[in-house]
Amino acid sequence: MRASVEIDAYPTNARQWEAQHGVEASEEINANFGYGSQFHETHGYYVDGIDEATAKLPLDWRDRQHSTAIECDGRIVWAITPDISDLVVSKLCRLDPRDAEYIEILHAQRPLDLSIVRLRLTGMDIKAAVRDRAIDFIEDLSR
């Protein structure tokens, strides 16, 4: 679970920042903290700037989000993470091999409530083929 050297980051003030600076926030994050950056080489991990189109999450995911205050250069930065079930739903929507492996390992270590995952998945506005593939995957997990 902790083998990834990538952290996805989407600043909640991205649109405001972009209006002020004229550059996409995700691109600025990638340039300064992304793969191959000085930050990556110094710390051994990198930050992948994302935007609202990158991850599919249930519309009400913020009702379940987790927030943590982190001090960074004398300022407080809030790290907001989706609930684990919402994160799994997001990964199910894409379901590339890394996502599948992540979900399988997570479920083996800390069993998911697959009925909640399924409920959140079926409530999303996604293509039927994506939903069907994801449901097949979680049904395989429950066996």
Give the pLDDT confidence score for residue 137 in this predicted structure: 97
Long-range contacts: 26-30, Cβ < 8 Å, 24+? 26/50, 26/51, 26/54
Give the pLDDT confidence score for residue 129 in this predicted structure: 96
Q: Does pLDDT of 2 surpass 80?
A: no
- pLDDT tens-digit map of 89-137: 999 999 999 999 999 999 999 999 999 999 999 999 999 999 999 999 9
Give the pLDDT confidence score for residue 89 in this predicted structure: 97
Cβ partners under 8 Å of residue 117, min gap 6: 85, 88, 89, 92, 138
Q: Does pLDDT of 32 surpass 80?
A: yes
Please give the mean pLDDT across all residues of the chain: 92
User: What is the b/e burial string over 36-67, where b = at least 16 CB atoms within 10 angstroms of the residue's CB?
Assistant: ebeebeeeeebbbbbbeeebbbbeebeeeeee
The pTM for the full model equals 0.84
pLDDT classification of 1: cutoffs 50, 70, 90? low
